[in-house]
Amino acid sequence: MEKLEVFFVVVVLAFLGLFLYLLAYGNVIGYTTPAACAIFPEVETFKPSVEEIEPGVYRVKVVAAQYYFLPAEIKLQNPKRVIFEILSKDVVHGFAIEGTNVNLMVFPRYVAIFVWEVPQDMKGTFLIYCNEYCGTGHQTMYGHLIIER
Ligand code: CUA
């Protein structure tokens, strides 16, 4: 009888240990690796750029830092699709474009990647803004997207 009690105490403790491990794994290790991001250890080699890789398809690389986007103005001719690659140099920033579904959280020293299918009737100038509080100059962190057709 006593042996059976010991057996069940061991089983319960083993499950408790497993749950605590999974909790710690999910919250510490899992949380520090953002989804849909690429590790980018060499921040210095990341060059901001706007590049048309095929007709209507752009790759736009943006650096986000306290308190600016580089480039601050992105001008696109007749875009169909935009591949955004956004790198934060310092703290958590946001990269959002008004009136669109572009809304990224950018983790320090990671590249956030988003493929945006541009609505074909969209043209004009749109505000790009940081929507994560990133310090005392947060409200000055913005840029513009200009779409010409
Ligand atoms: Cu960057 Cu707020």
Q: What are phi and psi of 93, to 5 degrees?
A: -125, 170
64-83 pLDDT, tens digit per residue, is 999 999 999 999 999 999 99
115-147 pLDDT, tens digit per residue, is 999 999 999 999 999 999 999 999 999 999 999
Rg (the chain; Cα; Å): 22
- 3-state DSSP: the chain helix, strand, coil percent, rounded to 5? 25, 45, 35
Closest ligand 1 atom to 138 CA: 2
132 lines ligand 1 (CB under 6 A): yes
